[in-house]
Amino acid sequence: MSSHIHHITIDCADPYELAGFWSQVLDCPRHHDDHPGDPEALLFLPSGVSLLFQQVPEGKTVKNRLHLDLIPTDRTRDEEVERLLRLGARLVSDHRRSDGTGWVTLADPEGNEFCVERSRQERKARQTVGEASETG
């Protein structure tokens, strides 16, 4: 037998507010029982894994040891980065390259880092261009 991931738990100061940010990022509603001031908030992701935001007394002080890598589903990486910045994310570092590859590291409103990579469509287009230039 093996195990499966039930929750990915994120420590934070305000679970309801941080879950609200991630709810917009992932287009996934907060659990119907979650309310402002609750010590926990929950997002059920379509994949079956959920994000559990739990209140802790201490603030974030160092770089995350675990972070999420996002791939946009209906827009480009750059469009998604702009959308997330408008939602309240902060730019941490930009690793985009002139050839279109790379990623962007952002932080959520409580400082938790996450990355935005190229969409599957962008990756596929890059492979097609690379193959065409190699063959012709």
> Could you report the per-residue pLDDT of 32-46, keeping only the tens digit for each?
999 999 999 999 998
- Does this model's pTM top 0.75? My answer is yes
Mean pLDDT of all residues in 3-8: 90
pLDDT reported for residue 135: 37
Q: How far apart are CA 7 and CA 66, in angstroms?
A: 14
Same domain, 41 and 88: no
Which of 58, 91, 106 corresponds to the end of one domain? 58
pLDDT reported for residue 47: 87
Per the CB < 8 A criterion, the answer to whether 115 and 106 are in contact is yes
pLDDT reported for residue 127: 76
Closest C-alpha among 55, 67, 64, 50 to residue 12? 55
30 pLDDT more than 60 = yes
pLDDT reported for residue 62: 87
121 pLDDT more than 50 = yes
Same domain, 66 and 132: yes
Helices within the chain (DSSP H only): 15-26, 77-87, 120-135
Residue 41 CB coordination number (10 Å):
27
Same domain, 48 and 90: no
